[in-house]
Amino acid sequence: MDMTLDSLFDLVLSLEGDTALDVPLLRNLAVLDALRKTKSMKTFTVKPDLLEKKINRHYYRLCRVQEDLGRLDFKKAAAGVSVEDFVFSQIDFSRYREMPARDFERLFPEGLMDFGEAFLKDNFGFGREEIQSLIERSYKKEEGLYKIRQESPLILSVMRTLDTSLENSSLFGPEEISGELQTLSGFLGSSGTSAGRLPEVGQIYPGLVSGLDGLTITHDDGMKTNLFISPKGDLSAIFRPGNKAWTRVLIAGDR
């Protein structure tokens, strides 16, 4: 008999001390589920875990976009200039020449994982590992600041994307869950578990997504992000950068 989602979460939490077991997504989801049950509520403060950090980065990208939009003065646009060209002309790329460590480390290196390999190659012509190497070569840390070693249009464009792009991939997908189930199966080996066989990803994925319905995340600036399942079945979130509501899809319902 295949184990239930609750049994899977119990198993993952029971193995928390086994550092050789690399299932961060299932572990993160299990912890969130346990917090919800023990506190009889779905509210928690952002902690340095996989999903919370990804949602936090999404929020701070929206904050940056909201700040940029707030500075735009279309009265200054020259006649005949398109909206896209005017907006591009107002981008302050100088911020990426010298960045406070907190801002830089919020974006990199984990921020690269928010974007799919195809997106990175389409926009920059390089994959994730090559872009990571580029960033590492391009910056040095001095007295709490990351300073650019050699400026180029490519590195500025990469950092701008990590800072403001809203084309990030899903919060998580069935492929990632399937990979972690395989890792868990390999870790358990022939010993198995008395709770039953590990479930197939199709059996638990809808429950993993719906388990985040109603969750409220409090960011470190005090703003709250509310997650919900939309009528279309999407896992969506209402972010409030600058106290302006933005609704974004985190996981599409057709996945």
Q: Where do the H-state alpha helices sit in 144-224? A: 153-164, 174-188, 201-210
pLDDT, position 45: 47
- Give pLDDT tens digits for 108-130: 888 999 999 999 999 999 999 99
Side-chain-side CA neighbours of residue 12 (13 Å): 27
Distance CA 63, CA 132 (A): 24
* Confidence at residue 74, expressed as pLDDT on a 0 to 100 scale: 66
Confidence (pTM): 0.86
